A and B are shown apart, each in its own frame.
Chain A
Amino acid sequence: MNSVPYLLIMFLLPLGGVLMLLLAQDDEKSKGRNALSVAMLTVWASLVFIVLALSHVDSTYNHLQLVEQYVWLENPKITLTFGVDAFSLLLILSVNVAALIGMWGVRHFSVKMKSCMILTLLFLSMITGLFLAADVMSFFIFFAALLFPLFLLIGLFGDVKRQIALFRFMFYSICGALIFFVVLVVLYNHDTANVMLNKMADFKLGPKGEFFVWAAIFVALLSRIPIWPFHSWIAAVHSSIKNPLVFVLANMTPLTGIYGLMRFVPEGLPDSLLFLSTGLEVIAVITMLFIALIAFINMDFQYKIFSFMTVYYIFFMLGVFLPTSQYMLNIGFSLFAFMIIFSSIEVLVAYQEQIRHDNKLLSEGILTLLPKLSVIFTFMILAAVGMPLSAMFVNNFVLIAALLAYSFGTTVCAIAALMLVASALLVELYRRKKMPKLDFVTDDVEDISSKDFVFVSLTAVVLLLSLVNPLWFIRG
């Protein structure tokens, strides 16, 4: 046990923020600013602890570190274990930074800000717990628990018009969690102990048992990723969320599935079950191409962002199935940059939509009226398509190279999907930067404030730093 329980603090800090928020005043006069300030302060405090924890982690050591154990129950014996490596800390960091950017995106909103921030912090606490979990029980608890704030966030603030899609999304997520629950109990009963995640691949249950357990794990984890056959309802909900913060948080859920796959199968599946990963690979590639194609055709930018994210998530998932864990950090660096990029793009798009709505403008050429926003938005789109502006650049190349060595056909299809979705983003950027055919001259369109510009520029600096040296804050 460490002298300072960093991991427990990281998990509890957002919950502390929830308590503070419950006490915070949120009247009409403050317009939710108190709640937003408390929530942002909490995330900043979390970031400090994450960086502190990162400074204690050896990135060259590919095992869980800073391990903390908490006995939850004596009979049956259930001990919850937290542990991290550089990869999981990178994910926690990126999730918190993305949430911070999302909060920045809703700073002008005033309706029910307190509830929104409480649910956001609850979600952050749960997803942090998930990335800290080192055993199956803890993983399941957080895997299922984050559904509660997520569902309320989407339902209350997502402005999702198709409630039936939301209903189905939640219903199937619950089913996925219950399937996982069965796996959890089967594993516990087999070993009469809480199984550590890194021991899963060594688990021997006999052919039938192994097939059942792994198939159930796959279904449960994949139910969070918009891959066929789960893509339809996830896409329907995630792509239609109008609130930038909720969009950012909701689109973090595929990350939980990918992280789960990475932790459960660090060195690949048992030989007898390799056909599962082959089947999954085929489905993944088809889904990638299909979604990228729709992104190219669809005019809704929100859907394009969703597609961009989905294609990349599936790309990272393919990386997870490489029969080695040596690319784990590459995926981590890439994901870190990816999360910052997508949340920034979403927030900047939401701002443009607001301007467009207030001034009754078309989206075509809107960036010509917003020069400061245009600079930063262009930067983010170029970083998103893989230009050398963030950690995505180098690490995606490393991943593609690794995938090529493993399966040529799959990699070619993945590259095609990545190019398609990048083209979709670039076409949209061009459309927004093209001189508009305005019927009247608008001088009163408000560009982002200097304060906001500095905030987003800082994220751009973080991205550039991640390109130069992704682990500048980690020893080893």
Chain B
Amino acid sequence: MLNWVAIFPEVSIVFMLIVSAFVLWLREKATPKTFFSLAKFGLIVALVATIILYNQSFLDGVYENFAYTTLFKILIYLAAWVNMGLAVKYFLAFNVSSFRFYTFILLSLLLLTMALSCANIGLLFGCVEVGFLLNYGLILTDNDDENLAQSAKIWLAFSLIVSVITLLAVVGLVYLAHSWAVSDIAAFITASASDWKVYGCCAVILISILFKLGVAPFHFWAPDILGLTILPVSGYLAIVPVLAYAAVWLKIAAELMPGIYGDFSLLLSVFALFSVVVGSIGANTELNMRKILAYVRIFVLGIVFLMWKNFQLETVFSGFIFLLICMITLLGIYAVFYGLKEKGVYLVNLLSVSGVSESKPFLGAAFVFFLFSLLGFPPSLGFLGLLSIVHDLVNEQNFVAVALILVGVVILSAAFLKVIKSVYFDKKTTHFDRVDKGIYWMLFWILAVIVILMLNPKYLMNDIEVLLRALMQ
């Protein structure tokens, strides 16, 4: 029996998309804030409804909600909300329409959160693939950079190829299992674990998600895209899809391939270690701050997949906590980026932010604090993440991975020290624009969340574990 109430969050987003389209059509002049207000309203309704309807499913076996899907959706919505709040500053500064940006974000959120609830493999991967391809529209928002256009074309070409291959693998699994239901296919995969065709299809699906996340060696698109797109798009793509695809990954591991996931352990270890190396070294080669962060993202994902190579509660949990902490920190850094402007132009180059602490001490201090947090230095929140990761690896007696992670952190610290040197110790070369008060408020709230989680990590370490436990059962 259909439970229509359960899809109220999705309906609210669709409704807001339709309203946005009408507003664009009817209003002569749509201010930058108009579409933000609409998108925000839709998102808040979806968020609240998701929390209230946490245990209600639309149709069993097709579209189901559990405690952990609710957790992932809440995190995705919250990250998107902060990003959207920051992005409006950009559109207000340039006084341009934000319709395209907010529409694509709402569409992307709709599909990615739907994917988490799908118990039908066709629907699941339909949402995942379309949701990813929609990013092309986002990437080209308000940007006529030729380099970006070139990178976007390459990205689109590869994404299309990956999507087609992934959908073929999905169809292959459906053909072999004679069912579209994720649970039936999972049972089939477990029963025919030695079949190379099943392995092939599963490997393609996993690699497809790794590509979407930007894990090395499928990372080639991430630094260029994140470094060259406009700030709101870069901020969104750096954080929200990562949380969403990580959640999809866990769903696939738990619901689709529980029987053979462990067989990919070696492959995942190689990709993970490669990401740690590429991320830490790559960050040292860049001067574009967003590209540095793109490499940091690769590094972080490398560590996360080092934990997720086996599907056990402890390692899944510590990997997830680490990812979450890094994403909160990245959110903070992007908030800082919104404050770094000269004559209306957002600064991306390391040299252009020299001496920012002189005129913007709060931005400078927050920036450095976030960087220390990414390095896992106490008393920052990142320490908790690194502690739980290294703790589990030592528990596993995986000292090689520990050594590699710590060497990676050391190499990454060299890149961060360059940033800190530029922000604090170099002479000011830029006349920074006045910072919008909203940016300071956003930074204040992000820092407040970090401080609360640091002082009482129970919310992060214990409460989330309880919700994740449902995923493992």
Interface residues of A (CB under 8 A from B): 72-76, 115, 140-142, 144-145, 147-148, 151-152, 155-156, 163, 166-167, 170-171, 174-175, 177-178, 181-182, 185-186, 188-189
CB of B409 closer than 8 Å to a CB of A: yes
- Which residues from B are CB-within-8-Å of A181? 376, 386, 390, 406
B457-A76 in contact (CB<8A): no
Instruction: Select which of B375, B383, B406 is within 8 A of A182 by beta carbon.
Output: B406
Distance between Cα atoms of A185 and B401 in the complex (Å): 14
Would you mind naming 12 contact pairs between A and B with Cβ atoms under 8 Å apart?
A72-B457, A140-B378, A141-B383, A144-B383, A145-B379, A147-B377, A148-B369, A163-B425, A166-B425, A167-B421, A178-B410, A189-B394
**CB-CB under 8 A for A175 and B378, given A163-B421, A182-B402, A188-B391:** no
**CB-CB under 8 A for A178 and B406, given A141-B383, A155-B424:** yes
B417-A171 in contact (CB<8A): yes
Instruction: Select which of B386, B414, B457, B462 is within 8 A of A171 by beta carbon.
Output: B414
Residue of B whose beta carbon sits closest to that of A192: B395
Fill in one digit per residue for B360-393: 1 if any A CB lies within 8 Å of its CB, else 0. 0100000011001001111100010011101100
Minimum C-beta distance from A388 to chain B (A) = 43
CB of B434 closer than 8 Å to a CB of A: no
- Which residues from A are CB-within-8-Å of B465? 75
Minimum C-beta distance from A104 to chain B (A) = 25
Minimum C-beta distance from A138 to chain B (A) = 10
A151-B420 in contact (CB<8A): yes
A141-B457 in contact (CB<8A): no
Residue of B whose beta carbon sits closest to that of A177: B377
B361-A76 in contact (CB<8A): no
Residue of B whose beta carbon sits closest to that of A189: B394
Interface residues of B (CB under 8 A from A): 357, 361, 368-369, 372, 375-379, 383, 386-388, 390-391, 394-395, 402, 406, 409-410, 413-414, 417, 420-421, 424-425, 457-458, 461-462, 465
B395-A189 in contact (CB<8A): yes
Distance between Cα atoms of A175 and B402 in the complex (Å): 14
- Which residues from B are CB-within-8-Å of A155? 420-421, 424-425
Q: Add 10 more A-B contacts to A171-B410, A182-B390 (CB < 8 A).
A: A76-B391, A115-B361, A147-B377, A148-B377, A156-B357, A156-B424, A178-B409, A181-B386, A181-B406, A182-B406
Distance between Cα atoms of A22 and B440 in the complex (Å): 15
Residue of B whose beta carbon sits closest to that of A170: B417
Instruction: Select which of A147, A166, A186 is within 8 A of B394 by beta carbon.
Output: A186
Distance between Cα atoms of A156 and B395 in the complex (Å): 41
- Which residues from A are CB-within-8-Å of B413? 171, 174
A73-B458 in contact (CB<8A): yes
- Which residues from B are CB-within-8-Å of A140? 378
**CB-CB under 8 A for A152 and B379, given A185-B387, A185-B394, A189-B395:** no
Minimum C-beta distance from B386 to chain A (A) = 8
- Which residues from B are CB-within-8-Å of A74? 458, 461-462
- Which residues from A are CB-within-8-Å of B361? 115
Distance between Cα atoms of A467 and B383 in the complex (Å): 44
A156-B425 in contact (CB<8A): yes
A141-B379 in contact (CB<8A): yes
Most chain B beta-carbon contacts within 10 A, residue among A141, A166, A174: A174
Minimum C-beta distance from A115 to chain B (A) = 6
- Which residues from A are CB-within-8-Å of B383? 141, 144
A145-B378 in contact (CB<8A): yes
Minimum C-beta distance from B268 to chain A (A) = 22
Residue of A whose beta carbon sits closest to that of B409: A178
Residue of A whose beta carbon sits closest to that of B362: A22
B394-A141 in contact (CB<8A): no
- Which residues from A are CB-within-8-Å of B462? 73-75
Distance between Cα atoms of A186 and B406 in the complex (Å): 14
Distance between Cα atoms of A188 and B461 in the complex (Å): 17
Distance between Cα atoms of A448 and B217 in the complex (Å): 66
Minimum C-beta distance from A364 to chain B (A) = 34
Distance between Cα atoms of A147 and B372 in the complex (Å): 10
Residue of B whose beta carbon sits closest to that of A152: B424
Minimum C-beta distance from B274 to chain A (A) = 21
**CB-CB under 8 A for A73 and B461, given A174-B410, A189-B394:** yes
Residue of B whose beta carbon sits closest to that of A147: B377
Minimum C-beta distance from A10 to chain B (A) = 17
- Which residues from A are CB-within-8-Å of B420? 151, 155
- Which residues from A are CB-within-8-Å of B410? 171, 174-175, 178
Distance between Cα atoms of A166 and B394 in the complex (Å): 33
- Which residues from A are CB-within-8-Å of B457? 72-73
- Which residues from A are CB-within-8-Å of B424? 152, 155-156
Distance between Cα atoms of A355 and B378 in the complex (Å): 41
- Which residues from B are CB-within-8-Å of A182? 390, 402, 406
Distance between Cα atoms of A148 and B376 in the complex (Å): 12
- Which residues from B are CB-within-8-Å of A156? 357, 424-425
Residue of B whose beta carbon sits closest to that of A115: B361
Distance between Cα atoms of A76 and B394 in the complex (Å): 14
Distance between Cα atoms of A140 and B376 in the complex (Å): 12
- Which residues from B are CB-within-8-Å of A174? 375, 377, 410, 413
Distance between Cα atoms of A311 and B189 in the complex (Å): 69
- Which residues from B are CB-within-8-Å of A163? 421, 425
Residue of A whose beta carbon sits closest to that of B393: A185
Minimum C-beta distance from B99 to chain A (A) = 40
3 interchain residue pairs of minimum CB distance:
A141-B378, A155-B425, A189-B394
Distance between Cα atoms of A174 and B377 in the complex (Å): 9
- Which residues from A are CB-within-8-Å of B406? 178, 181-182
Distance between Cα atoms of A156 and B355 in the complex (Å): 10
Residue of B whose beta carbon sits closest to that of A141: B378
Most chain B beta-carbon contacts within 10 A, residue among A142, A166, A175, A189: A189
Residue of B whose beta carbon sits closest to that of A178: B406
B368-A152 in contact (CB<8A): yes
- Which residues from B are CB-within-8-Å of A73? 457-458, 461-462
Distance between Cα atoms of A177 and B395 in the complex (Å): 21
Most chain B beta-carbon contacts within 10 A, residue among A75, A148, A182: A148
- Which residues from B are CB-within-8-Å of A72? 457
- Which residues from B are CB-within-8-Å of A189? 391, 394-395
Minimum C-beta distance from B172 to chain A (A) = 42
- Which residues from A are CB-within-8-Å of B394? 185-186, 189
Distance between Cα atoms of A185 and B405 in the complex (Å): 14
**CB-CB under 8 A for A185 and B378, given A155-B421, A171-B417, A178-B410:** no
**CB-CB under 8 A for A144 and B378, given A182-B390, A182-B402:** yes
Distance between Cα atoms of A189 and B361 in the complex (Å): 40
- Which residues from B are CB-within-8-Å of A177? 377
- Which residues from B are CB-within-8-Å of A115? 361
Distance between Cα atoms of A413 and B138 in the complex (Å): 71
Distance between Cα atoms of A156 and B421 in the complex (Å): 10
- Which residues from B are CB-within-8-Å of A147? 377
Minimum C-beta distance from A128 to chain B (A) = 14
Distance between Cα atoms of A177 and B391 in the complex (Å): 16
Distance between Cα atoms of A208 and B391 in the complex (Å): 20
